[in-house]
Structure 1
Amino acid sequence: MNNASGGGFELPPLALYVHIPWCVKKCPYCDFNSHAAGPDLPEEAYVDALLADLDADLAQVHGRPLTSIFFGGGTPSLFSAKALGRLLEGVERRVRFAADIEITLEANPGTFEQAKFRDYRSLGINRLSIGVQSFQPPKLIALGRIHDGDEAVRAADMARAAGFDNFNLDLMHGLPDQSIEDALSDLRIAIAQGPTHLSWYQLTVEPNTVFWNQPPVMPEDDILWDIQEAGQALLAAEGYAQYEVSAYAQTGKAARHNLNYWTFGDFLGIGAGAHAKLSRPDGSISRSWKTRLPKDYLDSSKRFNAGERVLSADELPFEFLMNVLRLTDGVASELFTQRTGLPLSQLAAARTEAQQRGLLHSDPTRLSATREGQLFLNDLLQHFLP
C-alpha cells in the first residue's frame, strides 16, 4: 500500500490506449512496436483478441468511465471502419464512456481515403493525429515515409471534409541536413492547414532502429537550438501555445488523452506490446505490459500481461514528476498527494535543492519547472530519484 499519508489518495481518471501494430513499412527512425503489414490484415481476429484482452483488465476499472481512447500504432488507419466500429461497440459495452470522451485515431497521409475517414467520424472518433513529419520530398525520403508533401496537405483537407474539426499534425525537426529555413518552412505549411494541435519534436536516433546502425548526418547542436527557438516563436505568434515539451495547441484544444498521461492519470493498454498504468483503491499503483509480437498476441495462451510491476513508495515521486514536469505550467502541488497518496513533505528536501539550482519554481502551490528546468529536464529529475 503506497498511501503512506493515511489519506488523500483517490483513483485518477481512466483512459484507454489501443495498439494496432501494423504499418505499410517500417520507418528507419521508428523504435515503436510496429511491423510491416502483409496483404491481409487479421482484423477480425485482432479485434476479438483486443476485446478478450480488455475483459481480462475489467477488474481494474473500478466503476470509472473512459475519458479518452487513443488508437496508436503502427498505423491504425490501416484497419477498416467496420473493424474499428465493432471494437468501439465492444469497448463501450464493457466500460462506460464519459459524455465528452475524446477518441483519437493516428493516421498517415499515405493511408487517407476520404470515404473511409467519414466512416471513422460516424463511429464517434472525433480527433485525428496525422503523421506528416515533413512536407519536403528529400526529408521524407530520408525518413522512409511513403507519402509526399502534397499528400500531407490533401490529408488535412480530407480530415476537415470528413467532419474532423479537431486534428493534430505530427511534425519533426532536426532532420538529416535540415537548415533553420527548412524547419520553419515545414512549420509554416503545417500551420497553413489549420490544425488545432501540433506535435513538433526533435528527431532522436534510438537503439534498435536502422538510423542507430546507419546514422544519418544530423544538424549541429547550435542549429538545433536555433531551430527550436525560431520554431517556438513562430508557433506562439500563430496562436499555438506550448503546454508540454513538444505539444502546441490552440485555446482549449490540448490533447486530453496525453494530458491524462502527463498528470499521472490511469490508462488501460490493450494490443500487442501495449502498456498500462493503473491504481487500486488501496493506493497501490502498477505498470504492466502485454505480449509484444502480433503472432503471439493473437495466440490466446500468450496474449495477456507479459509483465507487471507494482511501484514502491520510493519510486512514486520520480514516476509522478517524470510526467507532470513535462507540462510547461506544471501542476498544482496537491495533485502529488491525490495521485500517489504520499505526503507532499516527501518532496521537500529534493524540491529545495532543485529550486536552489534554478530548475524548479519556488511557488509552494505548484510543481513546475523553470525555463532552465524544462531545457534540462533530466538534470531536474535526478533530484527525485529514489
Structure 2
Amino acid sequence: MGREAQQLPLALYLHFPWCVRKCPYCDFNSHPLRGEVPEAEYVEALLRDLDFELQNDSRFPIPDSRPLVSIFMGGGTPSLFSDRAIGRLLEAVSRRLDFARDIEITLEANPGTAEAGHFAGYRAAGVNRLSMGIQSLDDAQLRRLGRIHDRAEALRAYDLARRAGFDNVNLDLMYALPEQAVAGALADLNEVIALQPEHISWYQLTLEPNTEFGLHPPPVPDGDSAWTMQEQGQARLAAAGYVQYEVSAYARGSRQSRHNRNYWEFGDYLGIGAGAHAKRSSGMPLTVTRRARHKHPRTYLQHAGSDAVLQERRVVAAAELPFEFLMNALRLREGFSCADFAARTGRDWDERIPGLAVARARGLLDEAGGRVCASALGWRHLNGLLTLFLDAGVLSNPEMSLKGGSE
C-alpha cells in the first residue's frame, strides 16, 4: 500500500440484514425476519468475510496496518442481535485489526422494547455510540410509516440508553411525512431537541423507487411546505446549539459522526455483511477499488469467506475519482481541503476538473485558504452543483451507503 493510501483513515461497516417488518419507505438492504435470528451463524459468517477481505487481494498487505477509526453496525436492525453476540463479534474484530485509541463504535437500534433491554450489555461490550431510528414522536405518523414502536417505547428506549451509560446518542427524525403540517414537523423536532441527544439526523422523507411508498405514493407536503419545515427547523436546531455539519446531520460540540465523516471525506472502509460495500485505496498512481457483497442473507451465508461472496468488484477509473470525491465531500458544510482532494483522487484541484469553471462562474463555490466548499447559493442548490462535476462521458455510480443515510 502506497504512502498516500496509508494516510487515509480506515473504518469498518458491519451490515445486519434482518428487521421485524419492512417499512414502506425503506430502500436499504433489509429483510423481514421469519423465525429466530441466526445470530451465531451470522457472526461466524461476518468473521469469515472479514478474513477474506483482509487476505484475498494481493494489492493490499496482510493485515491492513491502519487502525480502525470507527465501526458502524447498521441494517436492518442490528439490535435484534443479543449483546453477547455483539460482544463476541467486536472482540474477534479486535484480534484481527488494531483499534484507534479513541475509536467510535456505533450500533443502530430499533426503539422497540424487546431490544432496549440489551442496551447495558451493548455498552459493556464496547459500543460507545447508539443510533436510534425514532423517525417521529407522533403515534399516528409512526403507524403510517410502518414502525413497530410507538411514542412511549421511543421515549423509554432513549431513557434506557442513558441509564445504560451511553453519553453519545444519535436520534433519526424525518419531516415532510404523509399529510404532515409544518406545525407537526416542528413539534416533533422540538421534542427531540428537548431530549438533548448529542446528535440529530434530521432529513426529509423521500419516496424511493421499489419501495411501497414509491409504488403507492402517500400524500406528502408540497415543496413549499417542506422548504418551510426545513428552514424553520434548521433555525431551531441552531438556536439549541446543534451545528449542521452535513446535509442532514446536526451535532453538539465534538459529537459529529466520525464514521459518516469518513465516508464524506472519501476515506477508506471495509464493508462486511450481506450487501455491504467496501472502498480501499492503494499505490501510486492512486488506485481505488470498490467491492460489494451479495445482498440476500441466504446467499451471503452460503458464500461468506470465499470469492463467491462478491456480487461486484471494480477498479474506479481515474477520471471518475474527482466526481466520486465531490459527490461526498461537498455534502459537508466546511467542504474539503485541496490537499485532501489531491491525496484521495490523485489529481490537483485545478487539473481540468469537469464542471469546475461553470461552478465558479455561477458562484456556487467558495474557495479560500486552500479550502473549497459550497457557497450559500451552492448549498441551496447542492444537487445542481454536484451534477456539474459529472462529465457526460463518464459513467459513475458512487456508493452513498451511509446508511445513508447514513444514519
Distance 1:109 1:43 in 2: 20
Amino acid at match of 1:321: L
- The question of 1:26 aligning with 2:34 is answered no
Q: Does 1:49 align with 2:45?
A: yes
* 1:306 counterpart = 2:302: no
Between 1:361-370 and 1:231-240, the stretch displaced more is 361-370
Alignment-derived partner of residue 379 in structure 2: 374
Partner of 2:195 in structure 1?
A: 193
CA distance in 1, matches of 2:4, 2:309: 32
Task: Kindly provide the amino acid, as one letter, of the partner of residue 334 in structure 2.
Answer: D
Correspondence for 2:108: 106
Which residue in the other structure is 2:396 paired with? none
Is there any run of 5+ residues in structure 1 with no aligned partner, and where? Answer: none
**The residue matched to 2:70 in structure 1 has which SS?**
strand
Query: How high is the TM-score relative to the length of structure 2?
Result: 0.90
Match of 2:287 in 1: 284
CA distances 1:58-84 after superposition (whole Å, capped 9, x unpaired): 144631111000000000000001111
Q: Distance in 2 between matches of 1:335 and 1:105?
A: 29
1:17 alignment partner, one of 6, 9, 13: 13
Say whether the 8 Å CA contact 1:17–1:270 is kept in structure 2. yes
- How many Å apart are 1:382 and its aligned residue? 2.1
2:397 maps to what in 1?
none
Instruction: Please show how residues 183-332 of structure 1 align to structure 2 within 5 Å.
Output: 183-282=185-284, 283-300=286-303, 304-332=309-337
SS at match of 2:141: helix
Deviation at residue 343 of structure 1 after TM alignment: 2.0
**Secondary structure at the residue paired with 1:71?**
strand
Query: Corresponding residue for 1:340?
Result: 345
| Distance in structure 2 (CA, Å) of the matches to 1:276 and 1:11 | 17
Structure 1: distance between partners of 2:116 and 2:246: 31
2:394 maps to none
Unaligned runs of at least 5 residues, structure 2: 392-407
Which of 361, 370, 377 is the equivalent residue of 2:366?
Answer: 361
Which one is further off, 335-344 or 299-308?
A: 299-308
Q: TM-score, normalised by structure 1?
A: 0.95
- Superposition deviation, residue 235 in structure 1: 0.2
Query: Does the 8 A contact of 1:333 with 1:364 survive in 2?
Result: no
Deviates more, 1:178-187 or 1:55-64: 55-64
- 1:96 pairs with one of 95, 98, 120: 98
Which of 132, 139, 146 aligns to 2:148? It is: 146
Q: Is the 8 A contact 2:12 2:72 kept in 1?
A: yes
CA distance in 2, matches of 1:314, 1:221: 35
For the 8 Å contact 1:174–1:203, the answer to whether it is kept is yes
Per-residue deviation, residues 285-342 of structure 1 (Å, max 9, x unmatched): 0111001100011103675211111111110110000000000111112110111222
**Contact 2:293 2:310 survives alignment (8 Å):** yes
- Post-superposition shift, 1:196? 0.1
- Amino acid of the structure 2 residue aligned with 1:52: R
Q: Is the 8 A contact 2:80 2:115 kept in 1?
A: no
Farther-moved stretch of structure 1 (301-310 vs 334-343): 301-310
Corresponding residue SS for 2:318: coil
Q: Is the 8 A contact 1:78 1:111 kept in 2?
A: no
Amino acid at match of 1:12: L
Give the length in aligned residue pairs. Answer: 382
Rounded Cα–Cα distance in structure 2 between residues aligned with 1:225 and 1:141: 24
RCO higher in structure (CA 8 A, sep ≥6)? 1
Asked if the contact 1:351–1:360 (Cα under 8 Å) also holds between the matched residues in 2, the reply is no
For 2:17 and 2:64, the matched residues in 1 are separated by: 28
Residues 348, 290 of structure 1: alpha-carbon distance in 2 compared, 3 angstrom cutoff: closer
Cα distance in 1, alignment partners of residues 114 and 245 from structure 2: 29
Q: Distance in 1 between matches of 2:4 and 2:159?
A: 47
CA distance in 2, matches of 1:240, 1:27: 28
Distance 2:322 2:222 in 1: 35
Deviates more, 1:112-121 or 1:367-376: 112-121
For structure 1, which segment, 104-113 or 196-205, has the greater mean C-alpha deviation from structure 2 after superposition? Answer: 104-113
State the alpha-carbon separation in 1 of the partners of residues 314 and 354 from structure 2: 27
Q: Percent identity?
A: 55
Shift of 1:153: 1.1
Deviation string for 1:4-59 (max 9, x for gaps)? xxx96654110000000000100000000000112211111101110000001114
Change in CA separation of 1:194 and 1:138 when aligned onto 2, cut-off 3 Å: same
